[in-house]
Structure 1
Amino acid sequence: MPFLDKYKLIVTDAIENYKLTNSPHQLYDPINYILALGGKHLRPIILLMSCDLFDGDIERAIKPALGIEYFHNFSLMHDDIMDKASLRRGKKTVHVKYDENTAILSGDALLVKSFQMYEDLDSHLFKKCFTLFSQTALEVCEGQQYDMNFEKQQEVSYDEYIDMITKKTAVLCACALEMGALLAEAGVEDSKNMYEFGRHLGIAFQLMDDYLDVFGKQETIGKKHAGDIDENKKTILYILAKQKANENQKRKLNHWYAVIEASQDKTNEVLTIFKELDVATSCMELIKHYSDQAKNYLEMVKADTNKKKMFYELIDYLLVRDN
C-alpha cells in the first residue's frame, strides 16, 4: 500500500545497514538469510508510524523497530522447527537450508540481537521500552506454548483461544504501537490507547487468517486451502462450530479432528459441517467486533486527524482482504 511505502523503505534500508558480518559466519549467515526473505515488515513499520503520529524522532525509533523485527524473525525460526515447516515466504526455512541445530542457535543469537537494539536509548526511554518489550517477548512464548497445548487438548474454549492468539500474535503488534508512542514521548493515556488499538487489531487479523484458510481463495491467500483442517488446528472456526453443533455434528467433528492423516474426505466432511452451521458469518461478526474495538481506541488517541487516517487505512489493508 502506498501509505506504507516510505516506512517500509526505512525498515529495509535499516536491515541492510545493520546486516550482520560478525564471525563465525555459520552463526550469522542464517540470520541474514531469514531477514532477507522479505515479508511485510508490518511490526517495525507500525512502530515508525506510531512514532510519527506523535511527531517523534523517526531516527531514534529505527533500532527499536529493528528489535521488534529481529524478535519476530527469531520466533519464526523456532516456530518453523516446531511445526516441521519446509517453506517460509516461498523459500526454504532456516533449519531446512542449513540444519536444525544451526537454526536453534542462530535463532537464539537473533533473540539476543533484538534486545541489543535498545541499548542506545536514553535511560528514561530505555526502562519503559525494555520493560514493555521483555514482557511482550515472554507473552509470545506463552502463546506458542498454549498453541502447542491445544494440539493435544480435545476441547478449547473461546476464551482460551482468544487468549492464545492475543499472546502469540496480537501483543507484538500492540507492543510496536505503544513503543512508537513512548519513543515520541506521548502521554501515558495515548500510549496505552495505541497498545489497545494494536491488541484488538491483532486479534481481528488472526481471526481473518483463520477465516481465509477455509473460505478464502487459494490463489489470493497463497497457501494450501483448508490447511488448518488438515493439521487438526482448533481455530476459531472449529470453536464456533463446536458451540453451535448438535450431538451428531459434534461426534463427526471429534472423529475427523482425531484423524492424523490429511485427506479430501476429511476436508469435505468438516467443511460441510462448517457450512451447515454458518460459522463463516459468525467469524466475520467477531472480526467486525474486534476491529470496531480497535477503532474505538484509535478514536480516543489525541493526535493529528490527518495522520490518524493512515491507521484507519491500515485496518482496511489488514482486514479487507480479497476472499
Structure 2
Amino acid sequence: MHNTAQLQQRIIEGLKEIDMPEFPQNLYEPIKYLLQIGGKRIRPLLTLLAADLFSVDDTDNALPAALAVELFHNFSLMHDDIMDNAPLRRGQQTVHEKWNPNVAILSGDNLLIMAYRQLAKCPPEKLPQLLEAFNTMATEVCEGQQLDMDFENMASVGIDDYLRMIRLKTSVLLGTALKMGAILGNADDNDAQHLYDFGVNVGLAFQLQDDILDVYGDPAQFGKQRGGDILANKKTYLLIKALETAGTDIRPELDRWLATDGPAEAKVNAVTVLYDRLGVRQAAELAKQRYIEQAYAALDAIGVHTTRKTPLRTLAQTLLNRTS
C-alpha cells in the first residue's frame, strides 16, 4: 500500500506532466492558473486510494482516471464561478475576473475535453465501465448545479429537495472518484457500489458541515466571512429547517431579516439567534451524523481487511472533523 502523501505527490506530478501548448495563450494560461492555485486534490486522491484498497501495487494504472476526475472538478469550478459571479476561488481571483467570462467558458470547455483525454489512457477493457460511471456523474453534477440556481428564485425549498441537490452537485463526484478507482483495482460490483455509497454519504455530511461552519465556525479558522450564507439568503439546510419549523412567534421576524440587506453584522447576529431558538444547528448536526454513520457502514461492508481501509477512514475523519 502507498501512503497518502505519496499518492498526493503523484497527482501533483501527473498534473504537471499534462501537455499544454503555449498557444493560444488565452486558452491554456487560465487552465494552468486554476490548476496551480491548487486545492487539496481530495477527489483524485480518492481514486488512487480506492485502487490501492484492492491490492493494486502500481497506482500509475489508476492515475489517468484520477487526473480525469481532477480536471473535471476544475472544469465545473471554472463554470460555476461564472454562474455565481464569484470574485475569488481558493483565495485568488477567479478566471472570469482575471481574464473575462468568455475566456473562462472556453477554457472550462477545454478542461472537460482534457478530462476525457485522460480517461482514454485507462486500460481499454475498463473503459466501458469507467465511461458509464463518469458520464452519469457528469450529467448529475450539471443537474445539481441547475437545481442550485433554480433554488435562488424559489420561494420554498424542502429539506429533501436540498439534500437531493447537494447529493448531485457535490457528493456524486466523491462517490464516482472512488468507484472508478475500485473498477481499476478489479473490485467486484458489490464492493465498488459500497465504496461509491461511502463517498456519497461523506459528501453529504461534508456539505452539511459546511452549512454549519458558515454560521457557527470561527472565521479565522474557516477562512470565510461568518454568516455569508445568511447575508446571501442562501437556502442551506439551516435556513430551510428554520423556515419549516418557525412558528408564528418567530417566522415574522425571520422573514423580516430575510427581506433586508443589512446592516451585515446585525443581520447575521439576529438570524443566528433565531437559529439557536429553533434548534436548527442540532438538527443539522444530527443529519450530518446520520450520513457519517451510513458512510462508515458502507466502508465496513467492503470485503477487504480492515487495516487496508484505514487511509480512507482517516481521510474521511479529517474532512468531517474540520473547523476550516
TM-score for the superposition, normalised by structure 2: 0.96
Shift of 1:122: 2.9
1:226 matched to which residue of 2?
227
One-letter amino acid matched to 1:46? L
For residues 254 and 231 of structure 1, do their structure 2 counterparts lie closer, same or farther at Cα, with a shift above 3 Å needed? same
In the alignment, the residues of structure 1 paired with residue 161 and residue 44 of structure 2 have an alpha-carbon distance, to the nearest angstrom, of 28
Which amino acid in the other structure matches residue 36 of structure 2? A
Of 28-37 and 112-121, more deviation after overlay is shown by 112-121
Which residue number in structure 2 is paired with residue 6 of structure 1? 6
1:36-67 alpha-carbon deviations (Å, 9 max, x no partner): 01110000001100000001241111111111
Residue pair 2:250, 2:274 contacting (<8 A) in 1 also: yes
Residue identity matched to 1:101: N
| Residue 5 (structure 2) pairs with residue 27 (structure 1) | no
Higher alpha-carbon deviation: 101-110 or 239-248: 239-248
Instruction: Return the alpha-carbon distance in structure 1 between the equivalents of residues 15 and 263 of structure 2.
Output: 39
Deviations 1:76-100 (A, max 9, x none): 1111111111111111110111111
Distance 2:4 2:240 in 1: 34
Alignment of 1:129-144 (within 5 A): 129-144=130-145
1:210 and 2:203 aligned? no
Q: Residues 170-204 of structure 1: CA distance to partner in whole angstroms, max 9, x if unpaired? A: 00000001110001111000000000000111000
Change (3 A) 1:262 1:304: farther
| C-alpha contact 1:274 1:280 (8 A) present in aligned 2 | yes
RMSD of aligned residue pairs (Cα, Å):
1.5
Query: In structure 1, what is the equivalent of residue 319 of structure 2?
Result: 318
1:90-113 CA distance string (max 9 Å, x none)? 111101111111011100111111
- 2:46 aligned partner: 46
Give me the whole-angstrom Cα distance separating, in 2, the residues matched to 1:234 and 1:213.
12
- Distance in 2 between residues matched to 1:137 and 1:260, nearest whole Å: 36
SS of 1:294's equivalent?
Answer: helix
Partner of 1:15: 15
Separation of aligned partners in 2, 1:262 and 1:48:
47
Gaps of 5+ in 2: none
Contact 2:64–2:122 (8 Å) recurs in 1: no
Q: Which residue of 1 aligns with 2:250?
A: 249
User: The residue matched to 2:60 in structure 1 has which SS?
Assistant: helix
Normalising by the residue count of structure 1, what TM-score does the alignment of the two structures yield?
Answer: 0.96
* Stretches of 4+ aligned residues off by more than 3 angstroms: 258-262
Residue aligning to 1:191: 192
Aligned residue pairs total 322
Tell me if the contact between 1:230 and 1:262 (Cα under 8 Å) persists in the aligned partners. no
Could you tell me whether the CA contact under 8 Å between 1:232 and 1:260 is conserved in 2?
A: no
Q: Separation in 1 of the partners of 2:71 and 2:291?
A: 27
Unmatched tracts of structure 1, length 5 or more: none
Query: Partners in 2 of 1:142 and 1:257 — Cα distance?
Result: 27
Taking only the aligned residue pairs, the percentage that are identical comes to 39
Give the Cα separation in 2 of the matches to 1:155 and 1:257.
13
Query: Which residue in 2 is equivalent to 1:90?
Result: 91
SS of residue matched to 1:247: coil
Distance 2:162 2:207 in 1: 11
| Superposition pairs of residues 156-305 of structure 1, within 5 angstroms | 156-260=157-261, 263-305=264-306
Q: Could you give the per-residue CA deviations for residues 120-145 of structure 1, whole angstroms, max 9, x where no partner exists?
A: 22332000001110110110011001
Asked whether the equivalents of residues 8 and 41 of structure 1 are also in contact (C-alpha less than 8 Å), the reply is yes
The code of the aligned residue for 2:14 comes to: A
